[in-house]
C-alpha cells in the first residue's frame, strides 16, 4: 500500500460522503432501473415498488453508485494510510491483517444474530466517532451520522420485516394469502387451502385447481 503523503485531511469527509451515499440509496429505493432485455422474466424484481415509480437507465444508475460508493472508501483509506506511517511496514501490515480478521468475525456474528441495519449503522458510527479522533469535525460527524440513522430508520418496516443472515425478508398478510418478498423482490405466495368457514375461497380454489392439472393427464401412481 502506498503511504499517504497528501497533507489535506480527507478523513473528515467520510460522514458527509456516507450521508450522500445513503441518501442516494433512499432515493433509488423507489426507482425502477431499465435493464437490457435478456429474455428472462423479471417482473417480480420490482414487486414492492409503487406503480408510479420513475424509471432510470442502468448506465447512469451504475455510474452514480460506483462513484458514491468509492468516495467514502477514499476517506477511510486516507485515515488508514496516516496510521500506517506510525508503524514499521511489517507491523503495519500485521495490524491491517488482524483488523481484517476481526472485521470478518464481527460481520459473521452480526449476521448470525440477524441484526437489522440500524444496529450496523449505529455500531459503525460509534466506532468512527471514537477512532477518528481529531481527524474529524466532531459536530459535522455527529450531524451526518444522525441523519444517516434517521434515513435508515425510515426504511425499516418494523411490523413485517425480518433480517436473516443473508437477506431482508418482508411478509405481507392478505385475506387470501401471504406474500414473501426477499431483498425487495417477490419470492413466493403462501395460500391457505383450508380457510376459515365463510371466507372467500376463490383464490385458494383456483390455485388448487392449477396444481391438480397434471393429474388430469396422468394417473397419480405414475407421477414422478
pLDDT of residue 1: 46
Nearby residues of 23 by Cβ (< 8 Å), 6 or more positions away: 151
The SS3 assignment for 163 reads: strand
pLDDT of residue 3: 47
Q: How far apart are CA 157 and CA 168, in angstroms?
A: 10
Query: Residue 45 belongs to what H/E stretch?
Result: none
What is the block-wise mean pLDDT of the chain (224 residues), using blocks of 10 residues?
A: 61 92 88 66 56 78 94 89 86 91 91 86 90 83 92 76 81 80 81 70 74 72 56
**What angle do the packed helices 14-28 and 117-132 form, to 10 degrees?**
160
Closest by CA position to 128, among listed 26, 18, 24: 18
Nearby residues of 159 by Cβ (< 8 Å), 6 or more positions away: none
At 25, list the grid cell: 440509496
Q: How many residues does the chain have?
A: 224
* Beta-carbon count within 10 A of 181 CB: 20
The domain limits of the chain are: 11-156, 168-222
Burial of 193 (C-beta count, 10 Å sphere; 0-12/13-18/19+): exposed
Amino acid at each position: 500500500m502506498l503511504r499517504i503523503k497528501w497533507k489535506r485531511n480527507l478523513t473528515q469527509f467520510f460522514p458527509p460522503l456516507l450521508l450522500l451515499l445513503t441518501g442516494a440509496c433512499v432515493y433509488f429505493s423507489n426507482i425502477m432501473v431499465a435493464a437490457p432485455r435478456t429474455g428472462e422474466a423479471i417482473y417480480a424484481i420490482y414487486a414492492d415498488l409503487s406503480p408510479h415509480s420513475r424509471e432510470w437507465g442502468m448506465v447512469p444508475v451504475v455510474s452514480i453508485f460506483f462513484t458514491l460508493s468509492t468516495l467514502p472508501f477514499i476517506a477511510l483509506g486516507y485515515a488508514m494510510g496516516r496510521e500506517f506511517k506510525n508503524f514499521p511496514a511489517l507491523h503495519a501490515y500485521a495490524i491491517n491483517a488482524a483488523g481484517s480478521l476481526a472485521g470478518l468475525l464481527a460481520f459473521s456474528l452480526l449476521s448470525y444474530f440477524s441484526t437489522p441495519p440500524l444496529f450496523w449503522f449505529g455500531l459503525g458510527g460509534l466506532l468512527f466517532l471514537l477512532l477518528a479522533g481529531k481527524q474529524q469535525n466532531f459536530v459535522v460527524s455527529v450531524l451526518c451520522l444522525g441523519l444517516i440513522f434517521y434515513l435508515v430508520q425510515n426504511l425499516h418496516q418494523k411490523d413485517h420485516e425480518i433480517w436473516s443472515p443473508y437477506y431482508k425478508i418482508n411478509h405481507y398478510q392478505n385475506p387470501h394469502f401471504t406474500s414473501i418478498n426477499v431483498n425487495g423482490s417477490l419470492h413466493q405466495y403462501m395460500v391457505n387451502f383450508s380457510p376459515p368457514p365463510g371466507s372467500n375461497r376463490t383464490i385458494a380454489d383456483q390455485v388448487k385447481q392449477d396444481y391438480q392439472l397434471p393429474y388430469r393427464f396422468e394417473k397419480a401412481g405414475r407421477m414422478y
